[in-house]
Structure formats: structure tokens, C-alpha cells
Structure 1
Amino acid sequence: MSTVGYINVSLEIWGAILSFVFITSLYMGGDVKNRTDKVFFLILLCNSLLLISDAAAWLFKGHATAVSYWGVHIANFLVYVLGYLLMALFTEYLVGYLSIRIKISRRAAGFVWGLCAVGVILTIISQWNHMYYDFAENNIYRRGEWFWLSQFLGLIGTGVDISLLLIYSRELKKKELWVFLSYIFLPMLAMTVQMFIYGIAWLYLATTISIIFVYVSLQANQAQKQKLREMELEISKSAIMLSQVQPHFLYNTLLGIKQLCDSNPQKASEALEHFAYYLRGNLDTIAQKKMIPFEMEMSHVKDYLYLEKMRFDQKLTIVMELEYTDFILPAMTVQPIAENAVRWGIIKKKGGGTLTIKSEMAEENVIISVIDDGVGFDPLESKNDGKTHIGIENVRQRLMFQCNGTMEIESKKGCGTTVKIILPRKGMTNEYYCSR
């Protein structure tokens, strides 16, 4: 093997080792949680495999053995395929990173994935027509007549990335913008040099340096923000728990139990038991670090509704239509919505009304519906009425952060309100909860 070969192999092995160190750091640190983190994890893994494959290609070339023949063919094939995959993963990462700041279409990522597929197909075809490369005697790699096309596809993908950065540059800080641009232009410069000067694998080395730069400058910072976000959620859970235990609710409940002690001691005992369970459920929410089974959440909801039914009697009718219950969700999800429906919908209506809670499975999602036929409201007016709506917004944020769930609210004055909680079914079963 030539001196250039030894240099390439040494640099690429060290680059692969460094990438694996970052992979281990991300995994052991628990920083691979959301989609963007997972994509960056795959970028590091893909880059490591690419460097190892290219190093193997250098090691196998120049030998006439059967092992070298297959080794150099497989290694070079993987270099091309992993290169295209790395291109698509970076665009996916960029789109995901921008999506945290602003709603953005995935068309750009889809287009680059299409380029990746075209590149892989052409690489497969090249094994027969040698359009990208072929091998001379002793398994020596040679560029084919259409080698430039393999690089041109990469330049198109890079152009897409540059376009995204130009369009959404205002959504990024200067540091973030320069980091992404360095990832793009450093490999682009190396790619341009490599098209005319064959020797050291400048492109892969430049890509490795750029990925490390992204990790140090952005991804590590994102992980820190993620941890801060988790701390904020813990604080918000305490806030929602405190907001649920309103002084007037405590007073009215205890007063109702006191009155029952004289008229119906047995029912008073039942009410006191539900009240104790309700308070315990609120306190348990603070300590809860993971999602809970739906049945556990509904047990808390039923304790709350029992107490409200005790107070309002005929003014409150409760209907449960729980068709699907084998799933988990963030603690304190349904209860705040049910309380809102009772306090601001049904009780405000003359003569009261009905609260209906449904759970069902629809394709790949679980849908929980909390429906009341109370006074309703105008959603547009509600956003500008000066109220904080802490409980509902807290639920919405925790759904999005903890399980990628969403919440939809439909309401009309005089007709009532429907709140739908939509949870992705994948990974949300009780078996998943028990195994954690």
C-alpha cells in the first residue's frame, strides 16, 4: 500500500473512532430522545461506517486474492451508498432542527431522499456497467466515465441545504447559521478538489470534521436545552397540580362531606375516600417521571367527578364510553380537561349538562374525547380574553414533548365543547409502561 493509502487509512480509522466516541456519549448520556437527536445519532453512525468502509477499500486494493476482490468491491459499494445516505440524513437533520423553531414543509427532505435513492440505484447499476467506477488488475479502483454524476448528485443535495438555510436564516442565530454553512461548504470544497485530484479522501475527512463541529456547537447545546425543558415540565406539573386544588374546591368538597355526615354517614365515608384518593393522585403527579396507564389516569378522573357529582347532583350527568384502554399517556392529561368542562361549561349552563369521555383506537392513533354540552365559547375570543388557560396549555405542551401527542379543541357558544387528545399508538401500550 502506498504512503497516501497509509495516510488515508490512519486518518479514517481515527475519524471512525472519534465518531464512535460521540455515539457512545450520546447514547450513554440519554440524549437520543426526539427525532432530531435520533437523526444526528444516525449521521454519526453512518459516518463511522463510511470511514471504516473507505479504509477497508484502501487496505484490500492492490491484492489479487479472492478475499481482496470481494473486500474491495463491497467496501467501495458501501462508500458510495453510505455517502448518499449521509447526504439525506443531514438534510433530514436540518429540516428537523428548523422545525423546532418554525413550521416547515418536509418536501426538501423528501427530495433529497429521492436523490439518495437515485444515487443508490445508479451505484447498483454501476456494478455491471461501471459508470461510476471499475477495477483494474490487482483490484485497483478506477473512476468511470460517469463518476462526475455521483458527485453532481451530492452537489444538488448540498444546494437544497443551502436554499433551506437562506430561506430560514432569520430563524437561526448567527452561530447556528455559520455552523451549518461550515458543514456544507467544507465538504463541498473537498468534493470539488476530489473531482480533479485523486488521492487522499478529502471529502470524508472534511465531513467528519464538520460533523464534530456540529456536535460540539449545536447538538450538545440542544441536549442541554432538552434537559432544561424537562426541568420546566417538572415545574409545570407542580403548577398544574396546585391549580387543580383550588381553595374553593377544597372548601365546597369538605362542606359537602360535612353535610353528608349528618344525613348519610355511609355516603360521607365514600366521599371522603374519593377525596383522599383525589388529593393523593395530585401529589403523585409531581413524583411521576414517566407516562402512566390510561386506567390509572381515569381512576383519578373518576375520583374528581364523584366529588363534583356529589356537589351538583342532577346538574351533572357523566357518561363513560371507554372502548380502548390499553395504552399509556402523560399523568394529569384527562383530569384538567374534565375539570374545565365541568367548571366552565356545564355548571355555567342553566340546568347543567352532560360530560362524556370517550377513548377509541383509530388507525395508528388513540383518541380520547372529552365532550360537554355546556355553554361553550368562541375560540378566537378565548385567545384574547386575558386569561392564562394554564391547565390546557400545560397539557398540550406535555403531550407534545412526552409522547408526540396533539390536542384539538372545538367549541361553539351555546353548543358545548369537544376536546380531542390524539396519541400515536406505537410504543404506547401498557406492556411498554411495565417494561420501562
Structure 2
Amino acid sequence: MTGNERTGEPYMGEKKFAGAMALVMIVFAVIMEIYSYKVIPDIEVGVSSFNDNWTIKEENGESVQVTLPVKRQVPAGQELVLENRIPDKFYMNGGIVFRSRQQEVEVYMEEELLYKYPEKELIGQSLPGNWNFVMLPKDCEGKTLTVKIRSPYQKFSGQIGEIYYGNYSELLDFIIKKQTPIFRMGILIGIAGAVIEVLAVVLRKYRIYSYQELLGGLLILASVWLCGESQMPLVFLGVEAKYYVTIMALLFLLMFVYGYLYVRWGNIQGKITRRLFYFSGIAGAGTMGLSVAGIWDLMRIMPGILVFAGGTAGYAFWIHLRAFLKKEGRYLGSETVCVGLILAAALVEILFFYSRSNNIAGPFVRLTMLLYALNHFRIDLLETYYGLRERAELEKRLRRSQAELMTSQIKPHFIYNTLNSIRALVRIDPETAYNTIYDFSTYLRENLRSLEDVDVIPFSQELKHVKAYVNIEKIRFEERVQVVFDIREQNFQVPPLSVQPLVENAVKHGICKKIQGGTVWIRSYKESGDYVIEVEDNGIGFDSSNVGEKNRQNKSMGLENICFRIQEISGGSMEIFSRPGEGTKVVLRVPEKKTSYYGKEEDGHENNHSR
């Protein structure tokens, strides 16, 4: 039962309270994240800004004094040369650090080369951004420091960000602390995705929908992408590895978005979404392969990637909006708003990317994606809570229906008639009386066993119950009751009292209503991945269209009871074919791979499961 199929809201008070508490948690987390991002100090003890009094040499030989950060009109591939004088009082074991964006870097002290990036040929054609940590010699005070930068991309040519100097061992800690707030947003998104993934796997038996695993993977990929874009220096990961992993996470994130939309709302533009899913996957794999091979330069095709990413966000918003308008599920209002915010943030970030020197993903995308992740985390907790309560109620209903069916099967007059038959047989045919007592005890035992805490039993055990009942009825009705068994498959499982009541209905309400009696056929076979059980008789039949009427008889109630348990426990189905005067045929289908009402996936031929 999906959320939009449920009628009524029996837990409206709890729902509002839990939703309000979750909303407070989300708002608190976002406010704290924004606050921590603003108040982190720019400079700490042991590290100083080194942005003033830099000199740029122009092509005409003139020198221009600038303050960093700076961007000059320099053609792609041409060097930007900056010079500055090291202060007379400098740090012991001093160094400088600055961020280069898709640029080659050389640092000189007087004429001596101190640092070069990249030091060796990189994988592929792309030139990743990098934090440049440069150790300065001990006698550097008062000497001239020269920084040369060159980029093959016009967008990054002629620009340099802030430079910091201080004790070399403290520079890394300073940069890590500076980038931690924005890096933490990506980590929080990943944590939310991991929790959703764990909930989807561990609590799969309580899941109402089937998309949480994809959603968890989607958020984890988003986390990898955003953490890679956060400019956090990761000493355990090489520059190229970080760069390609980040871009790969973005490319396959788009594929996961389409997969998530298709699994969740395949009925809304499903064909288009499915094609986009495969296209994005193939395109992402091809792009990464050609880039690593050096055939494509990722930075040169980045505009196309960003356009496709923006289009993906727009398409996701459109699908969410259509699902919301069609009332395809609960909580879609908040989801749609979050996706709309992500779309707006993505458009703003793309504009910033081309108008400034920002990264692909800035604070806006991070904040909106964090809001989306936390909102979905809230929704998953609510769905799990309601799923637990609904499944507990369903379990009670299943047990009650099983008990009701068992009670309806053991009727006093059947017991009296059977005992009278045995009493008569004791004198005239002791051997038959002996066998009938065994059949009767088997019949009673199987009925009572159905009350045990067992959800499914082997079909062979249910068949034993059927044969015990048939043997008893043949004693009473003799040649009027003929039963033919055609059992081709029996190595699978069914709910208790799922076949025997059908045979009893066929005997009592079908063939025994005819003076001459009739025949009951019991078949089992495998077809198209399902185990099929047929119970057919050539009795008086009935109008099967009246089975669901409210003023139904016990026969109809029993059939609906069986149908309910077959669907909820085995994930199967029941069909009834009957015409007055022609007989009745009931067909049960049990999937080879079925899910019980615990949600546990079971093999059709496993042993009996009990809780």
C-alpha cells in the first residue's frame, strides 16, 4: 500500500508533531551551517596575508602595482608574472600558499626555481586546480619572490587569488580550517545519503516505496562531487585522482537522477526518462574514458556538461511538479520546493562560474542540496515510522484472518460426522477406521498448526492436509467424490490453509450439491517464473462477480481471506473462474521470488520460515 493509496490519517497528531520537530532540526542545522561559514576567521596566528605590494610586469615593460586577488586581460597560454619583496622579518621555516585554477605555476626566489606545478606530465589533457604550498629558504628576508602563472584556458588566464605566508607547517592547517565549513556541507549530504541507504537496506521489509536505495546512492554521489569541489586539500588523494573522481561523481550523479525519477515515477514520461538514464550513463562513461585517454579536455567541454546538468535539474523539477499535481505520493510539496531551489541555485552558480572565478558548485547549490537531503531524511524517518505501525497492524490482521479461516474450517457437524463414520467403521472395517483416524488427526493437527507463528509452509505439507481431508470425505460420500491429483511442482511455499479450504469449497459447495457428485482436479506446475496451483471442479458453479458483495456468504468470505493472505504474505494472486451449472476453477499464483509481508525476499523453494 503506497502512501497516496491510504485512506484517512489515523495518526494526524503524531504526524504533525514529528514533522514539526524534523522541520525544527532542519532549520537549526542550516542556520548553524550558515553561521559557521560566516564567522570562521580569515587569518589565524602563524599565518598572514601576503596580498599587498605585488608588481605585474606588462608587455610594454611597465610595472603595475596591484593587490591580490587580481584578474588581468592575458591571452590563453601567456604568462602572468608577479613580483614582491619578502618582508625583512619573516617566519622561521616559512612558506607561502595560494590556489591556482587550471593554471601552470612556477615560483622563483631571485633566479632560483623553488616550485613548479605540475612537476610531471599529467594524465589526460586537463589541468586540475591545485593548492600550491611553497617552502621558502631560510635566508629569504628582503629578497624578490616571483610567481609565474599560465593557463591554456582563457577563462582562467591572467588571474590569481589570495596568497598567504607563515610557518610552513601551519599553512596546511590554516587552509583546511578555512575550507572546512563548505566541505562539511558536502559531508552532511553524504551522511544523509548513507543513512537513507542503510534504512533502505536494513529496514527493507518496512519500505513502502522502492526508490530509497537509488536516492541514497544519488546523495552519496552528490556528496563526493561537492566535497571534491570544496577546494579542501586532501593529502591522501592525488590532484588528478581528486579531479577525475569529482567530475566522474558529477557525471554519474546525473545518471542516478534519471534512474531515481524512472524508478519512482515511471508512469510520468517513463520512456523519455529511461532513455535519458541510459544516455547519461553512456555519455558519462565515454566522457571519462576519452578524457583520461587524453582525447578530450574536460575543461573545454565543461560548458556542455553544465548545460546538461542544468537541464537535468530542470527536468527533475518538472517531473516532481507533475507528480505533485497528480498527487502521486505524500510530502511531494516539500520535495518539489527543494528541487526548485536546487534548480534556481544551479542556474545562479552557472552564471557565477562564467562571470567570476567561482567553482562549479558554490554555497547556494550546497545549501539547497543539504536542505533537500535533510528533508528526504525527515521523510524517510516518517515513512519508516508509519511503515512500522502499518505493518504491525497488517500482521495482526493476517493472524486474525488466519484464525478466522481455521475456525470456519472446523465445523462441529463435520467433526460429528467424521467421528460417527469412524465409529461405524470400527466394527465393519477396522483397517479403514484405523487409517481414517490418522487422516482425521492429520486434518485437525494441520488446522491447529495454522495458528502457530508461521507465515509460510511447504506446499507438500499443505498437500498432506488436502489429502487427509479428501480421504475423510471419500469415506462419507464414496463414489460421489472423485479427486484427481496432477502435481508437477511441490518444492515451494504457500501460506497455511491456502489450498485445503479451496478443495473443501469445491467438495461442499460444488460437486456435493449435485446428486451424482463430481470430480475435483488439483494441479500444480511452474509457468513464467510463478508456481501455479489450480483447484477445479465440475460442480454447480456460481456467479463469480458476486464474490466481493458485502452481503456475501461464508464461502465468499473464505475466498477473500485466502486471496488476502496470498497477496500480502506471498506476493501472489488468486483468480476465480466460475459459471452456474458448469463448475469452478480457482488459480493461485505464487512468485518464485516472493516477498512476505515482512518484506523478506524468499526463494520459492526455501525451507519453512518462522519468526
Same fold (TM over 0.5): yes
Confirm or deny that 1:92 pairs with 2:263.
yes
Q: How many residues align?
A: 410
1:51 corresponds to which letter in structure 2?
Answer: S
Q: Deviations over 1:218-246 (max 9, x none)?
A: 34312321222122111111111111111
Supply the distance in 2 between the matched residues of 1:405 and 1:320 (Cα, whole angstroms).
22
2:579 corresponds to which letter in structure 1?
Answer: K
- 1:196-345 counterparts in 2 under 5 A? 196-197=348-349, 198-200=361-363, 201-345=366-510
Supply the distance in 1 between the matched residues of 2:394 and 2:327 (Cα, whole angstroms).
24
* Residue ranges of structure 1 left out of the alignment (5+ in a row): 96-104, 137-141
Residue 216 of structure 2 is matched in structure 1 by 44
Q: Which has the larger radius of gyration?
A: 2
**Matching residue within 319, 323, 332 for 1:160:** 319
Confirm or deny that 1:76 pairs with 2:277.
no
Is this contact kept in 1: 2:195–2:216, CA < 8 A?
Answer: no
Confirm or deny that 1:148 pairs with 2:307.
yes
Confirm or deny that 1:117 pairs with 2:294.
no
Is this contact kept in 2: 1:183–1:214, CA < 8 A?
Answer: no
Is this contact kept in 2: 1:374–1:417, CA < 8 A?
Answer: yes
Supply the distance in 2 between the matched residues of 1:21 and 1:168 (Cα, whole angstroms).
27
Is this contact kept in 2: 1:9–1:58, CA < 8 A?
Answer: yes
**Matching residue within 407, 415, 436 for 2:574:** 407
Confirm or deny that 1:67 pairs with 2:241.
no
- Residues 1:133 and 1:167: Cα distance change in structure 2 (over 3 Å): farther
**Matching residue within 200, 204, 211 for 1:32:** 204
1:199 corresponds to which letter in structure 2?
Answer: G
- Residues 1:108 and 1:297: Cα distance change in structure 2 (over 3 Å): farther
Worse-superposed segment, 315-324 or 142-151: 142-151
2:484 corresponds to which letter in structure 1?
Answer: V
**Matching residue within 170, 180, 194 for 1:6:** 180
TM-score (norm. length: structure 1): 0.84
Supply the distance in 1 between the matched residues of 2:395 and 2:228 (Cα, whole angstroms).
43
- Residues 1:248 and 1:423: Cα distance change in structure 2 (over 3 Å): same
Supply the distance in 2 between the matched residues of 1:60 and 1:433 (Cα, whole angstroms).
54
Supply the distance in 2 between the matched residues of 1:195 and 1:412 (Cα, whole angstroms).
64
The CA RMSD measured in Å over matched residues stands at 3.1
- Residues 1:52 and 1:283: Cα distance change in structure 2 (over 3 Å): farther
How far apart are 1:356 and its partner, in Å?
0.5
How far apart are 1:411 and its partner, in Å?
0.7
How far apart are 1:57 and its partner, in Å?
5.0
Q: Deviations over 1:93-138 (max 9, x none)?
A: 4x5xxxxxxxxx84645543333223323333444489x99349xx
Supply the distance in 2 between the matched residues of 1:376 and 1:165 (Cα, whole angstroms).
46
Residue 17 of structure 2 is matched in structure 1 by none
* Residue ranges of structure 2 left out of the alignment (5+ in a row): 1-130, 132-174, 350-360, 594-601
Supply the distance in 1 between the matched residues of 2:212 and 2:238 (Cα, whole angstroms).
34
- Residues 1:227 and 1:392: Cα distance change in structure 2 (over 3 Å): same
- Residues 1:428 and 1:25: Cα distance change in structure 2 (over 3 Å): closer
Relative to its length, the structure with more strand (as a share) is 2
- Residues 1:41 and 1:242: Cα distance change in structure 2 (over 3 Å): farther
Is the partner of 2:513 in helix, strand or coil?
A: coil
Is the partner of 2:576 in helix, strand or coil?
A: strand
> Percentage identity across aligned positions?
23
**Matching residue within 171, 191, 195 for 2:343:** 191
TM-score (norm. length: structure 2): 0.61
How far apart are 1:363 and its partner, in Å?
2.4
Is this contact kept in 2: 1:333–1:395, CA < 8 A?
Answer: yes
Q: Deviations over 1:234-275 (max 9, x none)?
A: 111111111111122222212222221222122112111111
